[in-house]
Chain A
């Protein structure tokens, strides 16, 4: 680890992974807790309680609610979680669970499930932590009560924690793996679980360039491929059912739903679910319900999403989502990477809006390091983020129209405009999509005169005109209106309960925008509004995006004017560095990306790498509410409603 770096502080870094190394074997892991918290955890300062946390503590008593290390409160008795969650929702008005994740503190011998509760009226989120002892080997841990019945938005997030850590949530309505498949061997985000190409706990790896020669990962591993099997595994005698449990709750009313699975010899097993008798016999005209799999290869699913819909005629009566077809293991890779390494990876989360993702990550790390970017960098960040919002909304509207059946023509108009914005990104950063522009404490490059002229032409001349043109084409278009008004309705209270964020929430009448409710950067210097509409349907989700583009344009214009007062080239606070050291601690920070709230929950143990790197993805959590929006509509509308959510699979599956 980093031996070649001659700095004195690397000693601590090299001590940390070597201490972690014996942990993977089962026995030392069990012994570790006895040694007591290792370094950081023991010395961790306890959080100071906010008034809300104090009220929570008064109500439940200090034996139940205690201050947690660094931030938030710790619930000592996990069986009281539903009670506490209900109190938070009903008395303290924390009406959504904005982030839910877990951290594996292997040296202390427990998992910590972390909840961030949020008020839709704004303010900081309230952090609540619950601990469960680590189990042995690949076993499941003790269950944690599910809060999905209280907060619907916890549904997918709890499933994700179960999938990644093997923490079951008791009382969850449909607890199955979500990003991986049923039957996957192990729980990938546990610290003692190693992927096939595992080389070390943290980068940079020594072995990457041994003796000046490259070494293929395939040559290093026993299976010569990126796979790992349990000892004694027989692929020919194995019966795979990656979708186990998927259809069980959907089978009712479907006559003879056949689920066919296959083993290695190609022999099939057929299970028949449902009997068709469940439909009431007094119905005059009984129709058979059928189950249709849309995706993962389907032109309307915006990537590799799979929707399993149950249809009565053309009407959707049930819907389930199968995710994970683009699960690229951002979080596991992110925990191996150094802090700086992760910036280009965030570009690839929601690959339409790379710049906005970078800001979220950089903001969280800056919060932990306690640094502030320079004035000039702040303006450049706002400029890039708002241009990103405009181009993303162009894209979203274009493809919403695609889903409506206006195949490609509107999209082509908007992609042309988007390309002009990408040209500007490319000239500044060197890449159209994966800009890798933000740095801790600044940005990587300043604008030249020519680039300034380029962006001014766009911001003051071209884009305003094109947005007008877009509205002229679509807003009063009869077909658009007929297809979208009243479709995909989800009222404000349900939206909040589903943790919906972004334009879709604002189209339901909730003025929730991170730029206002939990401000970051320099958004307080600009005169702009948070547009709100009340239709809560696809039409308003389209219109809100148009309004937001206009507001973003206002910000960009003001930004370009105010930027003239800042010093050219002053884009990096402090010295440029490659090897960042982030003080031990935990932080959750979020930004408003064009899709909604993008948050990062980072845990640092003081080393060169994040100890935990969790991404609160807006696309992923917004999908939780899709079922409620779609059920009752025609299958053609399901496609449109999905389009109005504007998901990007890179961020859904991560």
Chain B
């Protein structure tokens, strides 16, 4: 509990009569937020889930040289129900994105997402491809982005430390997963003639209807 040791204690703390003699110098005072976040940030369970090239570097990060276990994050779970961190490691394709959104919805809160590499961030070298999604953040919220194609293991470790910093700053009073009401469920996109983001369904319908009205050129940019 290194962070809390350095906190200034109440000036009369060691001599406070309410503290029994045998507990003096053995009691630490901290906030609930700190304790809670301190526990959480060192016991992340990432989901064992790779998409493409970046997954190879993710495995290399978990292997002995870079040793993810040093950070308490080594327990990769194949089931989204047991994971709190999704590392989107690789190119997100239209065919795969319904599954990714579904996996994200299945993860219990609190949950975090790291977009690993250029593809997961913005489509990367394959952005122009007809089956490639221009970044996973079009569908699920991302906490940390990493650059690189693929990012080195050190870059992935850095993103973990960044995420730890982010977790440290969270407060129980403001985090979204303790707010009243039902959890947000992201509607799973559908595979029709192209990928259909169901949140934009109405807009798509109107635009497509407008296009059908006027004889547009068959191929438009």
Contacts and interface: CB of A to CB of B under 8 A. Distances in A.
Interface of A: 24-26, 137, 179-181, 183-185, 188, 192, 194-199, 217-218, 220-223, 225-236, 238, 240, 242, 262, 264, 296-299, 303-304, 324-329, 332-333, 336, 344-345, 348, 351-352, 411-412, 415-416, 419, 432-434, 649-650, 653
Q: Which of B91, B133, B212 has the most CB of A within 10 A?
A: B91
> 8 smallest A-B Cβ distances: which pairs?
A329-B129, A185-B193, A232-B212, A351-B53, A195-B130, A231-B212, A415-B63, A242-B191
Interface string B100-116: 00010000000000000
A39 to B, nearest CB: 23
Contacts of B194: 184-185, 196, 227-229
Nearest to B220: A222
A369 B138 CA distance: 43
A332 B208 contact: no
15 contacts: A179-B131, A184-B193, A192-B219, A195-B128, A196-B194, A222-B221, A223-B204, A226-B134, A297-B103, A325-B96, A326-B51, A415-B59, A415-B64, A415-B65, A416-B65
A345 B130 CA distance: 16
B195 interface: yes
Contact of A326 (B60, B96, B192, B218): B96
A222 B208 CA distance: 10
Contacts of A231: 208, 211-212, 216
A298 B78 contact: yes
Nearest to B188: A262
Contact of A232 (B127, B130, B133, B211): B211
B46 interface: no
Contacts of B52: 303, 326, 328, 348, 351, 649-650
A376 B141 CA distance: 50
A188 B126 CA distance: 15
Contacts of B57: 432-433
B135 to A, nearest CB: 10
Interface residues of B, number: 61
B179 interface: no
Contacts of B99: 296-297, 325
Contacts of B90: 326
Contact of B131 (A192, A222, A327, A416): A327
Contacts of A179: 131
A333 B60 contact: no
B208 A230 contact: yes
Interface of B: 48-53, 55-57, 59-60, 63-65, 78, 90-91, 93, 95-96, 99, 103, 123, 125-134, 138, 149-150, 152, 190-198, 201-202, 204-205, 207-209, 211-212, 216-221
B192 A233 contact: yes
Contacts of B190: 235, 238, 240, 262, 264
B134 A217 contact: yes
Nearest to B131: A327
A218 B57 CA distance: 29
A196 B53 CA distance: 25
A93 B144 CA distance: 57
Contacts of B95: 180-181, 242, 324-325, 327
A329 to B, nearest CB: 3
Given A196-B221, A329-B132, 18 more contacts: A25-B219, A183-B192, A185-B194, A195-B130, A197-B127, A217-B134, A226-B123, A229-B204, A230-B193, A238-B190, A240-B191, A296-B99, A325-B95, A329-B128, A332-B129, A351-B52, A416-B65, A433-B56
Q: Which of B96, B149, B193, B212 has the most CB of A within 10 A?
A: B193
Given A235-B204, A325-B93, A419 B65 contact: yes
B53 A303 contact: no
Contacts of B193: 183-185, 229-230, 233
